[in-house]
Structure 1
Amino acid sequence: MADAVVVGAGHNGLVAANMLADAGWDVEVLEAQPEPGGAVRSDRGVHPDYVSDLCSAFYPLGVASPVMRALDLQRYGLRWRHAPAVLAHPLPDGRCAVLERDRDATAGNLDALGEGDGEAWLRLCGLWDEMGDDVLRALFTPFPPVRAALPLAASAHRAGGLRVLRSLLAPVRTLGEQEFAGPGGPLLLAGAALHTDMFPETTAGSVFGWLLAMIGQRDGWPVPEGGAGELTAALVRRLEARGGRVRCDTPVASVVVRDGRALGVRTASGEPVRATRAVLADVSAPALYGGLVGWADLPGSVRADMRRFDWDHATFKVDWALSGPIPWASPDAGRAGTVHLSPGLDAMTDYSTHLATGRVPAEPFALLGQMTTADPTRSPAGTESVWAYTHVPHEVKADAGPDGITGGWDEREQAAMADRVENVVERRAPGFRSRITDRRVIAPPAFQDHDANLRNGALNGGTAMVHQQFVFRPVPGLGRAETPVAGLYLASASAHPGGGVHGACGANAARAALAHAGAGGLLLTPALNALSRLLAP
């Protein structure tokens, strides 16, 4: 028995557990996998001398999030490491757009790619200086962000009011082409936006591109020293120091509901685990609604909403152990932790079009991580631990490339797609293939084996498109962690504000549980239920 049971030891579940433990609650976390972390894990599965991150690797939102900062994980062993440069996008002609942690250095690089582009970049930096912290506070607090709204409105007004809002709500292609003369600025912004499932032409894509680029400009895109799993280890150590417990190899089969209230959970082995105050679910919305909680305990509208739930794109990833650094034709690319690979903005649009129409892209847009460049502990001196991933359709209708990939992802299809990704790297780094010592392929279905929340490698808990954000995430309502079952809270990336290792989804669920368990809960619970029914009858 515990005050709270948290289902899932992903980073959101562990953040929620830590916050409840800080409030004096007795907390037990149940995890299906043999180890905690979910998508924040690392191993030596490619080569025993190389540390590889299974899913997530770089953590700009982790260092920028007020939630993660408040946990002070450095006291529990977390050490951030940075590559010499944040982000690079090598061009076919040998030039390279580079995002540095020094804004003047970034501006100088962009100015060389397009006259006046350095000044344009500094204008975007000035916009971040004016309103960036208010944006982060509004983004990472429960929706609607009542306390954060007024400061954000004031800073947005100072920065330009509706004109600024119009620019940030524009597609990232529009912002890039309006602000920059050369290719560098648009590629940096568009590549950052494509960390979600947005296209260069998607409304509001500029917000995501600007947000990630500006966080990189100010805070960098760091990695945990020793591997992604060290971030998880720090969260677990912090929780255990406060009396919390994590039990692995303990999958949960159902949430026990009686008279509309969650009383605890039942594990796959049949063990009942009582929760006297709350159950927090760090699982995807489709896994919770109609999965852990049966339809009989949910309104009929939720079942209909789950049929319309949109996942973000499926993911295909390759890990490599290299005998030496990648031999980039653009040397600046070798200084960056993250490298984006695409011939240009039009190629990004073609790639996105293939995804939208169910075709495996012929020219994948690849995100590549040079982990030893960012953290020398990842592999022996003079070598490099590297990964790259790209997106593919959940349901493959055709292959836009020459390999006849059907989405069955047998050994032949995995090898063909891995070769396609390697070709993308080889074109910008001739000789790359000759340095491969070992490789590991993670096809879409395998992501679910690592973490059941990652359906086919959908890394963000559901689409980042506007129709499934804010009051629409994960279903139309209040955009909050509360669920139709009293005492049950959604703590995963399927809840607002969505994907990324920032901990806000778990923090919002913990705040909700504390609020409803407090003296004000007698009024808060019925008021929110009534408002939710009004907004989404």
Structure 2
Amino acid sequence: MTDVTDVTVDDVRTTNATADAVVIGAGPNGLVAAAMLADAGWDVCVLEAADEVGGAVKSQELQPGYVTDLYSAFYPMAAASPYIRALALEDHGLTWRHAPAVLAHPSGPDADAAAVLYRDPHRTADGLDRDHPGDGRAWLDLLAQWQRIREPFLHLLFSPFPPVRGTVGLLRAVGTRDALRLARTLMLPVARLGTELFGGRHGPLLLTGNAMHADVPVVAPGSGAFGWLMSMLAQDVGFPVPEGGAGRLAAALLRRAESAGAQVVTGCQVEGVEVRGGRAVGVRLAGGGRLRARRAVLADVAAPTLYRSLLPADAVPRRLLEEIDGLFTADLPTVKVNWAVRGRVPWQVPGLAEAGTLHVGADNGQLALWSAALSTGQPSDITFQLMGQLAVADPTRAPEGHETLWAYSHLPRGNPDAGAAERLAERMEETVERHAPGFRDLIGTRLRQLPQDLEADDANLLDGAINGGTAQLFQQLVFRPTPGLGRPETPVAGLYLASAGAHPGGGVHGGPGGIAATAVLHGAALAGSGARALARTTRWLAG
């Protein structure tokens, strides 16, 4: 058996090599896990089917000088993540850029005003006070609470189950009584949370628009948690973008993993995980090669792909297969449109021109109707979309005075009709035109990404779903990806789920990869302690 560090990339694809840990997939989670394991001195090999790393962190020129992000784009979770921060990616070529305003949300389809969240919290509060006296103070109070609990809350969010240390830290920060109030807040529907905290329109609009970065309906319990978290991160770390394109973030993660000693092989398709005696011992590659794993296999792939496609059927408990088929719920299919714009977008509503992220097409009541229609598969004439003005945030994304714009929206689950996706893309462009008359005359290049295109480009984006599974409460925490699998360990010893299908779920923050690597290292430490104890006992028995 040849050690992976002694062979070429072509050898890895075609021969029997070995490594301490094999990571399937070079998305952000896979690269975070690889870097952490390599930092611990492990021999790590990452195998990526695509020709470049990054997964859903990738950029592309629409036309010369106009750079769009094909999937994810703005990264508050990455900026706040303890796993990403610990990697010091700024030392590996990453530069964050910020728009003058973090985000803006017009107060209705024909509104003449918008809720605007600025980097300066007092400026945000001033705008909320103009909408409704007292709402600015309510915003600053909410931010003060966040600042008190920020570190223990993030530790809790990004900890493996059971999150004992994070829970204890949070209780120390807020006290038991306030912790119960916080728990109630996080359980609320965002529609209810907004009316409890604010008296005007714009405060609830900030919370509700931010909640729509996940697929939890406005009136569903738990949607308030997403609205609160994303709003507080927006005010705390902003919604930064990597200078030059999302691909620069992926490149920095690659350089960081390789600098620690990990080997990353692209264009290398894994066809299956090999299991012997109930333990993962390596992977089988397209072309007949095998890569053995001495200690662990980590899978940065969609949960259904791991359990249904990569593992032998007899290695997975029948009940788990039934739950993957019957209980696992994908998030909503996504339709994305990218535009190269000659000039700036001619927004009519003040505040939109200076915001990097936009929430456009629906007010609070319409968002409730829109999200309910999506969840129930009913038609809706409301077209809500999340948008990004990349050159506002990062002037390198377009020629001076011009813009690279994108928008995405969703279809109901189980809608295979390509025509429906095309019609949604058309309505999305009409929505921009309604808020910015003359926009269509400025379009230089248009790139539409329908659900089938997203999956074709990245096999983890099943049916165009970008979150690794629904973010609703019934599939979070210990229920992700199915009940009882709230940790990265799988029923196969030595095999770990390290993708957005595992806790804490979707978003570019490295959480699933970091938690999986932590579990691998902890398991190895426990095994080492057991081996040392056995050796001591053996020596004692031998006299």
- Residue 163 of structure 1 deviates from its aligned partner by 2.5
1:446 paired to 2:464: no
| 3-state DSSP of counterpart to 2:145 | helix
1:368 paired to 2:365: no
- Residue 132 of structure 1 deviates from its aligned partner by 2.1
The Cα offsets for residues 374-426 of structure 1, whole Å up to 9 and x where unpaired, read as 00111111110010000111323xxxxxxxxxx4215xx55432220011112
The Cα offsets for residues 416-444 of structure 1, whole Å up to 9 and x where unpaired, read as 32220011112211111111111000001
How is 1:378-527 mapped onto 2 (pairs within 5 angstroms)? 378-396=397-415, 407-409=416-418, 413-520=420-527
Of 329, 338, 356 in structure 1, the residue corresponding to residue 357 of structure 2 is 338
| 3-state DSSP of counterpart to 2:37 | helix
| 3-state DSSP of counterpart to 1:109 | helix
Residue type at the aligned position of 2:467? N
For structure 2, which runs of at least 5 residues remain unmatched after alignment?
1-17, 532-543
Say whether the 8 Å CA contact 1:460–1:500 is kept in structure 2.
yes
Equivalent position of 1:65 in the other structure: 81
- Residue 520 of structure 1 deviates from its aligned partner by 4.0
Of 23, 26, 40 in structure 1, the residue corresponding to residue 40 of structure 2 is 23
Say whether the 8 Å CA contact 1:360–1:392 is kept in structure 2.
no
- Residue 513 of structure 1 deviates from its aligned partner by 1.2
| 3-state DSSP of counterpart to 1:364 | coil
Residue type at the aligned position of 2:353? G
Equivalent position of 2:128 in the other structure: 110
The 1:242/1:427 distance shift into structure 2, 3 A limit, reads same
Distance in 1 of aligned mates of 2:38 and 2:74: 27
| 3-state DSSP of counterpart to 2:271 | strand
Q: TM-score, normalising length from structure 1?
A: 0.93
| 3-state DSSP of counterpart to 2:275 | strand
Distance in 2 of aligned mates of 1:212 and 1:415: 29
How is 1:20-99 mapped onto 2 (pairs within 5 angstroms)? 20-44=37-61, 46-91=62-107, 92-99=110-117
- Residue 499 of structure 1 deviates from its aligned partner by 0.5
**Greater alpha carbon shift after TM alignment, 157-166 vs 467-476:** 157-166
- Residue 523 of structure 1 deviates from its aligned partner by 6.4
Say whether the 8 Å CA contact 2:170–2:179 is kept in structure 1.
no
- Residue 360 of structure 1 deviates from its aligned partner by 4.9
Larger radius of gyration: 2
Equivalent position of 1:315 in the other structure: 334
**Greater alpha carbon shift after TM alignment, 158-167 vs 134-143:** 158-167
Say whether the 8 Å CA contact 2:411–2:421 is kept in structure 1.
no
Say whether the 8 Å CA contact 2:217–2:375 is kept in structure 1.
no
Of 185, 209, 219 in structure 2, the residue corresponding to residue 167 of structure 1 is 185
Distance in 2 of aligned mates of 1:186 and 1:219: 20
Equivalent position of 1:528 in the other structure: none
- Residue 502 of structure 1 deviates from its aligned partner by 0.6
Residue type at the aligned position of 1:369? G
- Residue 167 of structure 1 deviates from its aligned partner by 2.2
Residue type at the aligned position of 1:408? D
C-alpha RMSD of the superposition: 1.5
Equivalent position of 2:20 in the other structure: 3
Say whether the 8 Å CA contact 2:106–2:115 is kept in structure 1.
yes
How is 1:127-166 mapped onto 2 (pairs within 5 angstroms)? 127-157=145-175, 160-166=178-184
The 1:523/1:309 distance shift into structure 2, 3 A limit, reads farther
Distance in 2 of aligned mates of 1:414 and 1:325: 27
1:182 paired to 2:191: no
Equivalent position of 2:8 in the other structure: none
- Residue 107 of structure 1 deviates from its aligned partner by 0.4
Say whether the 8 Å CA contact 2:421–2:451 is kept in structure 1.
no
Equivalent position of 2:537 in the other structure: none
| 3-state DSSP of counterpart to 1:290 | helix
**Greater alpha carbon shift after TM alignment, 20-29 vs 470-479:** 470-479
Distance in 2 of aligned mates of 1:441 and 1:313: 17
Residue type at the aligned position of 1:468? Q
For structure 1, which runs of at least 5 residues remain unmatched after alignment?
397-406, 525-537
